Amino acid sequence: MKASVFVATSLDGYIARADGSIDWLEDASAETGEDYGFRRFFSSVDTLVMGRNTFETVLSFEKWPYGDKPVAVLSSRLTKAPEDSPKSVEVMSGSPEEVVQRLSARGAKHLYVDGGLTIQRFLQAGLIQSLTISKIPILLGSGIPLFGPLSKDVRLRHVRTQSYPSGLVQSEYEVLQ
């Protein structure tokens, strides 16, 4: 099982405003129409794993962006997906190791892990192999950080960095175990 992260942050490391808003991110992609490699990445994964807060943000979008690809929403509050959710959405609870074990037993081979706390928990558990982080040229000053406290260092190996005319800088890292 491989688990990867593909995420955008502000230059100061926030994935959302304190209220969860990602309006600044939508503005950045609307200006250029560039997907920054997301379609290629998305076609390589077979299952998404995201936290409840991220799911609720995505559910508010005009259109569900993930098609019929299976989505596991991690939550200790929800017991089932809301009625207006796509059929491909399933609510799960448990440790990252338990979630990976269940999804692997179903045949999942490559997970896309999304959402601040979910990414942090999967990193802490040593379950992420690849991080692609796109830095958007904006300073928010505060918000929800991509990374939080760790009980040990997480060593990374730089794979590549690409800059775009929009000012976005995207770096890919391999997580060393």
pLDDT digits (tens, 9 = 90+) for 51-108: 999 999 998 888 999 999 999 999 988 888 988 899 999 999 999 999 999 999 999 9
Q: What is the pLDDT of residue 28?
A: 65
Give the three-class secondary structure for 23. Answer: helix
Q: What is the pLDDT of residue 138?
A: 94
Q: In the chain, where are the structural domains located?
A: 2-171
Cβ burial, residue 166 (10 Å; 0-12/13-18/19+): middle
Spatial separation of the C-alpha atoms in residues 20 and 7, rounded to whole Å? 15
Say whether domain 2-171 belongs to CATH 3.40.50.12780: no
**Neighbour tally for 44: CB within 10 Å:** 14
Say which range, 12-21, 24-33, 64-73, 150-159, has the weakest mean pLDDT.
Answer: 24-33
pLDDT of 31 over the 70 cut: no
Average confidence (pLDDT) over 22-42: 82
Q: What is the pLDDT of residue 30?
A: 64
